[in-house]
């Protein structure tokens, strides 16, 4: 637990968010067309239908803890891109890129890439 | 002696390093595997061979659809999130369906998550979002993934990866029911071989609560679906699917036209893809509804 808190603190020292407009994706009525990258600590990896989602915590620029949710594709698709039910562990630091953020202003986005602590990138490449 | 030990150590270390970094090992460990591009795997995590290296263009067996089939060239080509291939909901004039007044009105009462009429999740009334049965023909017009076909002289059975459902097509010469006393999610189907490679299937008696596709195109109790399964050769089969529903559409229309499926190896295991009501509810509450501009719990 101490390790996790420390990791969250470290993540809070350097949260970085980049916003780049890109084309909207079909059917994402709830999402805008921004790309955001957030570094945080995994709290849960939910491997379910219809879509999987990654829960992670990060501090915003005011130091407030934000509970992020990154929505990703269905397990039956992700598995073919090297992403499995065991890809993420709670307590692990990840850098998550999301293309499309909640129009409601909620910290929820559609994941396009996750970088693991050792630098490995998990993504579907150019596919969605 | 010492040199021999050092050499042996280097060799062992080298082999170990190769073993640890190999894709096979990565797959076995479940921790590390290549990402960023599609490497298709079956349900038992086995890599499915590249079609171009495994194509068998020999003649198909006579009057036989048996086997495990997947959309091709891409195994995701049958997702059809925005509607069936020939009529996606994209606003293009050539994709406008010939709705009757009732058809148009019914379609507008449906609130899908995809297509030109997509709404935020809180307003969505897609029955499949809460894991109601996907039904036929939507099972072939949305997320058509792997299918497994068994047959004998009396019937063909199709098992679908999507939601692990199945339906029977009777070949024993019976006629379609004249009156439907009990509409069914997957209807009543009869098939007839029109030549050695082509099975034509008619289906009626479909439950009106289902949608035709993922963008909420409607159907009535008068829906009649015609599927044509045509084996081009040993490895390739084409599926054509026609919708006829005079209450909802002014003329029949073809939703899939020679959509290609490819025969998979005999060892291919179909991956689970089940709609769980509790998982769907959690997703709808935690992700979809929370992300929507017009927040609210999905009913």
Q: Which residue of A has its CA nearest to B26?
A: A82
Is B19:B25 a contact under the CB 8 Å cutoff? yes
Q: In angstroms, what separates the C-alpha of B275 from chain A's closest C-alpha? A: 6
Contacts of B81 in chain A (CB under 8 A): 26-27
Work out the angle at residue B203's Cα, subtended by the Cα atoms of residues B108 and B63, and round it to the nearest 5 degrees: 135
> Could you give the CA distance from residue B24 to residue B17 in angstroms, rounded to a whole number?
13
Taking only Cα atoms into account, the Rg of chain B, rounded to an integer number of angstroms, comes to 23
Give tens-digit pLDDT for B53-110: 667 789 999 999 999 999 999 999 999 999 999 999 999 999 999 999 999 999 999 9
Enclosing H/E stretch for B229: strand B224-231
Nearest by CB to residue B35, choosing from A75, A104, A123, is: A123
Torsion-angle region of A103 (φ positive above 0: left; ψ -120 to 50: alpha; else: beta): alpha
Q: Which residue of B has its CA nearest to A123?
A: B36
pLDDT at residue B51, as a whole number: 72
Work out the angle at residue B187's Cα, subtended by the Cα atoms of residues B183 and B188, and round it to the nearest 5 degrees: 105
Three-class DSSP category at A104: coil
pLDDT at residue B52, as a whole number: 64
User: Under an 8 A CB cutoff, do B292 and A29 touch?
Assistant: yes
Work out the angle at residue A100's Cα, subtended by the Cα atoms of residues A60 and A14, and round it to the nearest 5 degrees: 25
Give tens-digit pLDDT for B108-117: 999 999 999 9
Give tens-digit pLDDT for B166-201: 999 999 999 999 999 999 999 999 999 999 999 999
pLDDT at residue A28, as a whole number: 66
Task: For residues B269-276, give the mean pLDDT.
Answer: 94
For the cut 60, the answer to whether the pLDDT of residue B9 exceeds it is no
Q: In angstroms, what separates the C-alpha of A83 from chain B's closest C-alpha? A: 7
Using the Cβ of A11 and the Cβ atoms of chain B, whether some distance falls under 8 Å is answered with no
Q: Which residue of B has its CA nearest to A112?
A: B36
pLDDT at residue A31, as a whole number: 82
Q: In angstroms, what separates the C-alpha of B150 from chain A's closest C-alpha? A: 23
> Can you tell me the ipTM of this complex?
0.77
Query: What is the separation, in whole angstroms, between the first and last Cα of chain A?
Result: 35
Nearest by CB to residue A29, choosing from B120, B129, B273, is: B120
Contacts of B129 in chain A (CB under 8 A): 50
For the cut 90, the answer to whether the pLDDT of residue B154 exceeds it is yes
Specify the range with the lowest mean pLDDT, choosing from A29-43, A107-121, B236-250.
A29-43
């Amino acid at each position: 637990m101490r390790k996790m808190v420390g990791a969250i603190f470290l993540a809070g020292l350097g949260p970085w968010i980049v916003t780049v407009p890109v084309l909207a994706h079909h059917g994402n009525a709830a999402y805008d067309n921004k790309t955001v990258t957030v570094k945080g600590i995994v709290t849960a990896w939910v491997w379910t239908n219809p879509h999987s989602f990654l829960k992670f915590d990060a501090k915003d620029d005011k130091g407030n803890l934000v509970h992020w949710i990154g929505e990703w594709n269905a397990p039956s698709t992700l598995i073919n891109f090297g992403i499995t039910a065991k890809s993420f562990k709670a307590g692990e630091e990840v850098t998550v890129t999301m293309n499309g953020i909640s129009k409601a202003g909620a910290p929820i986005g559609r994941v396009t890439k996750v970088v693991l602590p050792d630098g490995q990138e998990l993504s579907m490449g150019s596919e969605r | 002696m010492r040199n021999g030990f050092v050499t042996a150590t280097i060799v062992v270390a080298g082999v170990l390093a190769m073993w640890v970094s190999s894709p096979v090992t990565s797959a076995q460990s479940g921790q590390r595997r290549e990402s960023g591009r599609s490497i298709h795997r079956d349900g038992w995590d086995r890599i499915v061979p590249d079609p171009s290296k495994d194509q068998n263009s020999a003649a198909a067996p006579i009057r036989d659809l048996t086997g495990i089939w997947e959309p091709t060239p891409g195994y995701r080509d049958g997702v059809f999130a925005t509607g069936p291939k020939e009529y996606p909901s994209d606003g293009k004039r050539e994709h406008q369906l010939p709705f009757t007044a009732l058809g148009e009105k019914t379609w507008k009462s449906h609130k899908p998550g995809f297509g030109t009429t997509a709404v935020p999740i809180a307003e969505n009334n897609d029955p499949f979002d809460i894991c109601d049965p996907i039904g036929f023909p939507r099972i072939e017009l949305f997320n058509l993934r792997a299918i497994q076909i068994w047959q004998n002289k009396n019937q063909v059975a199709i098992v679908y990866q999507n939601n692990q459902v199945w339906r029977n097509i009777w070949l024993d010469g019976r006629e379609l029911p004249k009156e439907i006393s009990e509409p069914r999610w997957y209807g009543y189907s009869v098939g007839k071989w029109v030549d050695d490679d082509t099975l034509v299937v008619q289906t009626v008696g479909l439950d009106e609560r289902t949608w035709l596709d993922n963008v909420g195109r409607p159907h009535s109790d008068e829906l009649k679906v015609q599927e044509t399964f045509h084996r081009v050769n040993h490895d390739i089969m084409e599926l054509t699917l026609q919708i006829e529903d005079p209450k909802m559409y002014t003329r029949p229309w073809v939703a899939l036209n020679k959509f290609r499926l490819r025969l998979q190896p005999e060892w291919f295991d179909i991956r689970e893809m089940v709609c769980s009501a509790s998982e769907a509810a959690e997703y709808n509450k935690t992700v979809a509804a929370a992300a929507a501009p017009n927040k609210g719990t999905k009913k």
